[in-house]
Amino acid sequence: MKIVLSVVFMLISLIGFSQEIEMADQMRAEGKIYIVVAILCVILIGLFAYLISIDKKVSKLEKEIKE
Amino acid sequence: MINWWKALAIILLLYTVIAGFLIGVPRLAILNETIRNLYFHVPMWFTMILLFLLSTIQSIKNLGNGSMEADRKAIEYVNTGIIFGVLGTITGSIWAQYTWGAWWTNDVKLNGSAITMLIYLAYIILRNSMEDEQKRARISAVYNIFAFVMLIVFIGILPRMTDSLHPGNGGNPGFDTYALDNNMKLVFYPAVIGWILLGLWIASIRLRISKIKENIES
């Protein structure tokens, strides 16, 4: 009886584990397209930041020439 | 100086990447997901053509009043436009390999755009080959106007008169008649505006640098 009960409990706990467990599945869904979007956003933001810094450097030069 | 339109360029392009990949597109044979290239490949050409048009306007201005600033603007718009043309060619080549089956085909639009790029490269070489500033401005302005006329012929007219693999040319229907559904328009138009604004931004920086150079030299 004890053995039977323990096996039953083990099975229940196993089933419990194998049931829906919250994971960040959304990020891996649809062929991981979200990862591509994230990487492209990083590249774009990086390039924009660089462009803004170049823009500001040119502004600084313009100011220096005016003075 | 960060203007509102530069911020708009950033927002529109981030939107293009996010919505461009996540919003649904029509399921078409052969094209499959590559239809999303429409948001990236086509705006390259639109941006190039607009920059070349702005350059032509500056060249006409230079011929009208001999403005040296117009001459400097003309060359910087072309310099920036060439970058977008090169990107358009490379992206188009990759897209062609996986949908038409070849890196380069004898499609009229492909050869036409290649010839156009060569014409504009010749403009840069021609302009750099002259010492006298007034003469350089005048001759390159005349050539630049001629170059834009050739662009209209090679990219705008000839591909529509013969068969072309490009949609909207020859016997092929345009994207908007069957493929560019409302979802795609939602991304495509903002994408075009965003890429054009980015092109104008880069051109404006080049212009300001050339102005600073001019100031230092004089």
CA-nearest residue to A60 within chain B is B1
Q: Cα(B215)–Cα(B147) distance, rounded to whole angstroms?
A: 29
* CB proximity B50 to A under 8 Å: no
Chosen for mutation from B3, B5, B8, B10 (greatest number of chain A CBs closer than 10 Å) is: B10
What's the CA gap between A40 and B120, in Å, rounded? 31
Give the pLDDT confidence score for residue B62 in this predicted structure. Answer: 95
Dump pLDDT digits (tens) for A8-63. 767 666 665 556 777 766 666 667 778 888 888 988 999 999 999 999 999 999 99
Distance from CA of A51 to the nearest CA of B (A): 8
The per-residue b/e assignment along B2-29, b for 16 or more CB within 10 angstroms, e otherwise, is eeeebeebbebbbebbbbbbeeebeeee
CB B16 within 8 A of CB B39: yes
Crossing angle of helices B133-151/B41-65, nearest 10°?
Answer: 140
Quote the minimal CA–CA distance from A60 to chain B in Å.
9
Structure tokens at A49: 């930041």
Say what the pTM is.
Answer: 0.83
* Nearest Cα residue in chain A from B209: A58
Residue in A closest to B199 by C-alpha: A51
Q: Model ipTM?
A: 0.75
* CB contact (8 A) between residue B6 and residue A33: no
Nearest to B199 by CA among B74, B116, B76: B76
Q: Which residues does B9 contact at the CB level (< 8 Å), separation at least 6?
A: B194, B197, B198, B201
Q: Does A27 touch chain B (CB under 8 A)?
A: no
CB contact, 8 Å: B22 with chain A?
yes
- Give the list of residues 6+ apart from residue B55 with CB closer than 8 angstroms, or none: B73, B74, B75, B77, B78, B81, B144, B148
Q: Which two tokens stand for residue B181?
A: 């559904």
Q: What is the pLDDT along chain B (218 residues), one digit of tens a residue?
A: 678 999 999 999 999 999 988 888 887 778 788 888 999 999 999 999 999 999 999 999 999 999 999 999 999 999 999 999 999 999 999 999 988 888 998 888 899 999 999 999 999 999 999 999 999 999 999 999 999 999 999 988 888 787 777 876 665 555 555 556 778 889 999 999 999 999 999 999 999 999 999 888 87
> B-chain residues within 8 Å CB-CB of A65?
212, 215-216
CA-to-CA separations, B156 to B20, B69, B78, B116, B170, in angstroms, rounded: 27, 29, 18, 11, 12
Orientation of helix B182-217 relative to helix B68-99, angle to 10°: 140
> What per-residue confidence (pLDDT) applies to B126?
95
